[in-house]
A and B are shown apart, each in its own frame.
Chain A
């Protein structure tokens, strides 16, 4: 019931290593969880980023070949800072892909101090929008997801009382704050909230409390293995309320869990049927290469690498050197980018806006219920 892409990831990275080294090569960094309990995300992120590298190199967008130097964050801030130090000081990258809220916040100081661009395509903590000029997001953040799903549940489904189970970290705290703000605005109520430590695995006690709260909706704000354990144990312990989660839940392991049936999740709306050339090429090549349909996470890191390609090409065209400062300047000068999912522009705080889809999990797959657009 559990799928792993370790082998695929290994083959991809070996393929990267086999690429010849040329003088004018471009190297960008990536700090992903490659080991530890969240390694499953690392594989997902890498597949999107690697495909973009292939496309950029095949098209000859840049003067030399592009490659990605991967570093392992284990999805934890501490190893991420060590990895970022290495990427900045040793590898000397101008642009680094990052994932996870805690990790992104931790490396943002180094990014700013060394004028290296950090780009997040996986973490959704709302405060990621406020990490300075050198930190960008190519993913809509969780506050948007909540603003899409909460009114839907309260107004369309008539579910008014909410309980929240959230992980005790920057992401969970931010989600908690956001839910507390939104619910009263739309006539709902947060009847109880339960924070759980990042390492907890045993939730039968929390489940008993959730049941006792009598909420109509239980919002689960965690990630990785833990969110699956929470959902399973809530169901096992007699919680039959509507379960809701954010985009972090859209991983194969979670969708395949029998207890996920009927859950409502949100996520970035990517129109994979779109007719534009970038999206079509991505969907076709991704499906052919990995033998599965792409998800929003694959899209985000594909897009993050495409953004680098576009900016670096523009800098090279003017004869400049590709540095973090130059990339930031070029981004500010660029009106819009043709990415998977359409033509989009960065907001001033360095975050891309995408529509949010509200989806329901049926038979192990997420089916869209509605789509919400923000200005």
Chain B
């Protein structure tokens, strides 16, 4: 890996945002809308339900924050590729001395930066607006967040690989892929409340254990190590498989001339 290549690719991305502050809307607007909608819903439910579960309802806000970490990390990887497609710069990048590893590592950094910007905003606003403090989970929050970040990267690589394979018409996958798994990931509801058949799918997703762990940690005040270990183990598998898929699809793209098709769009 070359740090010079990685930093150049990240710099390109930073220039995009500093030159066009309007792009920050994409990073800030939708997360803010989700927070407000789920925050107000939480307040409404708290007012109109019995005392037996008002506390659990606040988990919805935590779920919004954590989901956005995953989503922004995935977007960092997938949109990174599309930016080059849109600007007809793809061949310049892939004809430059950039390895797959350089490229992927740059997308990871961008995904991390995107997730950091959005989650910082959401954490602060959820505290100010709804008195919800995600840091009740203390240090355990960091490995949980890291797991979401890693799963986001894996989904981003899968999204990019599918777009490369199926061409520009598949661009929409950059936004759709995370939402394919959202219903199964126990983001807003506990795993046990899902139908038995669906739980099988849910248990194969690393993020399910993060959301379960968050609820359990906030409820009991104890770090659920089992959830953390399951999420980490599954993430290792997903990251390796997604990386393999990406490398294979790029090799296939060179064989079939797919990258040049993007350039001539």
Partners in one complex: no
